[in-house]
């Protein structure tokens, strides 16, 4: 999977970084909703 990301190129790398950042934010929001402090 990592090799595929490297072969994808710079433009796709930026899109993957954006999607990865969004996935992290969504995971944090869901974890906070289901596990409130």
- pLDDT, tens digit, for every residue of 1-37? 565 655 566 566 777 788 888 999 999 998 888 876 6
How far, in whole angstroms, is CA 6 from its chain's centroid?
A: 16
What local confidence, expressed as pLDDT, does residue 35 receive?
Answer: 76
pTM assigned to the model: 0.53
Q: Is the dihedral of CA 26, 32, 33, 35 positive or negative?
A: positive
Q: What is the C-alpha to C-alpha distance for residues 37 and 28, in angstroms, rounded to an integer? A: 13
* H-state helical runs in 1-37: 2-8, 10-34
Distance CA(12)–CA(5), nearest Å, equals 8
Q: What residue spans define the domains of the chain?
A: 2-34
What pLDDT shows up at residue 15? 77
């Amino acid at each position: 999977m990592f090799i595929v990301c490297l072969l994808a190129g710079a433009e796709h790398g930026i899109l993957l970084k954006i999607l990865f950042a969004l996935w992290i934010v969504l995971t944090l929001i869901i974890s906070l909703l289901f596990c409130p402090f």
